[in-house]
Amino acid sequence: MSIEQQRPAFEREERYVVIKISHLRDGFSSRETQVNRLKYAYPEALVDCVVVEADWPEYEPVWQMIEARMTGAELVGQQSFQSRVQPWLMECFGPMIAGDREERNHRFFEEASELVQACGMTASEAHQLVDYVWNRPVGKKHQEVGGVMVTLAALCLANDLDMHADGETELARINVPEIVAKIRAKQAAKPKHSPLPMAATIAQSEISDERIEAGAKKLSALFDYPWEYMPEQGRNDMRSKVRTLLAEMGNE
């Protein structure tokens, strides 16, 4: 039999009698006299407590808290943000990828980088900080999590952001069927053995002329056609083939 089955059903009960001082009637010479006589008559009844009156909005939530304490249940709406992320994580990725620490490292670093980029950090600053951190001793995970939370709060304060409200908004946005489907498709297309969430694309315009020229010369040598004797049209054809080949290799 489980612990839950052994527990009796929770029922509200009156365990204390609370008398509001302002409600005492003038049956004695003073209200203070009434209070003192009650104290002397029932000394064992004096306990430290907080009174929540029935017409207060906190009344029902307090009863719910007491019921949760007595039954061992978790309060609805009071689950931590971390615990509410887990069902979404399992829905999107399944237990294997959800628990892959390397993958979680990559995705956290990606999102943190996007945040500081949105707040104005440059790529040069990011590279400098990566070199700085990876040349220091490895920290303790619990302490570093605390540091992340504190510095995230400070960053949000500096940028007039609400970390808790924005977190709730994002969790609600991604926790719908169409977004879950997109995330699954993106994960399925993710390149294997790469920290990148998708294949990096390289435009032909991003390939340097020096690299293209060197590749064209090597290609001409494969055809036993000395570069210095090749007409300009032939050289341009070689350059075009090398440019296309390098772009395709970079996008695989």
Q: Are 108 and 149 in contact (CB under 8 A)?
A: no
219 burial via Cβ count (<10 Å: 0-12, 13-18, 19+): middle
pLDDT, tens digit (0-9, with 9 covering 90-100), for 178-192? 888 888 887 777 767
What whole-number distance in Å separates Cα of residue 93 and Cα of residue 98?
6
Task: Please give the average per-residue pLDDT across 157-179, as a whole number.
Answer: 92
- The number of helix segments (H) and strand segments (E) in the chain equals 11, 0
Q: What mean pLDDT value characterizes the chain?
A: 80
Asked if residue 108 has pLDDT above 50, the reply is yes
What whole-number distance in Å separates Cα of residue 41 and Cα of residue 28?
15
Q: Are residues 54 and 88 in the same domain?
A: no
Task: Please give the average per-residue pLDDT across 3-21, as a whole number.
Answer: 69
SS3 content of the chain, % helix, strand, coil (to 5): 65, 0, 35
Q: Are residues 121 and 211 in the same domain?
A: no
Q: Are residues 180 and 223 in the same domain?
A: no
Supply angle C-alpha 240, 245, 246, rounded to 5: 100
- Percent over 70 (pLDDT), the chain: 77
Asked if residue 198 has pLDDT above 90, the reply is no
Let me know if residue 196 belongs to a domain. no
Q: Are residues 147 and 55 in the same domain?
A: no
Let me know if residue 131 belongs to a domain. yes
Q: Are residues 180 and 108 in the same domain?
A: yes
Q: Are residues 171 and 140 in the same domain?
A: yes
User: What pLDDT sits at residue 1?
Assistant: 46
User: What pLDDT sits at residue 67?
Assistant: 81
Task: Please give the average per-residue pLDDT across 9-27, as a whole number.
Answer: 70
Task: Please give the average per-residue pLDDT across 35-56, as a whole number.
Answer: 73
Count how many domains the chain has: 3
Q: How far is CA 176 from CA 41, 83, 88, 168, in A?
A: 62, 17, 9, 13
Asked if residue 26 has pLDDT above 60, the reply is no
Task: Please give the average per-residue pLDDT across 200-224, as a whole number.
Answer: 69
pLDDT, tens digit (0-9, with 9 covering 90-100), for 48-78? 778 888 888 788 878 888 887 777 766 655 6
Query: End of a domain among 71, 96, 118?
Result: 71
137 or 66: which leads in pLDDT: 137
Let me know if residue 197 belongs to a domain. no
User: Going by C-beta distance under 8 Å and a sequence separation of 6 or more, which residues neighbour residue 225?
Assistant: 234
What whole-number distance in Å separates Cα of residue 186 and Cα of residue 97?
13
Task: Please give the average per-residue pLDDT across 188-203, as a whole number.
Answer: 66
In our burial notation (b when 16+ CB lie closer than 10 A, e otherwise), range 182-217 reads: eeeeebeebeeeeeeeeeeeeeeeebeeeebeebbb
Which residue has tokens 């409200």? 165
Q: Are residues 88 and 180 in the same domain?
A: yes
User: What pLDDT sits at residue 143?
Assistant: 96
What whole-number distance in Å separates Cα of residue 231 and Cα of residue 137?
58
pLDDT-wise least confident of 67-71, 119-123, 182-186, 246-250: 246-250
pLDDT-wise least confident of 36-40, 54-58, 175-179: 36-40
User: What pLDDT sits at residue 23?
Assistant: 67
Query: End of a domain among 71, 96, 112?
Result: 71
Range of the domain at 216: 204-250
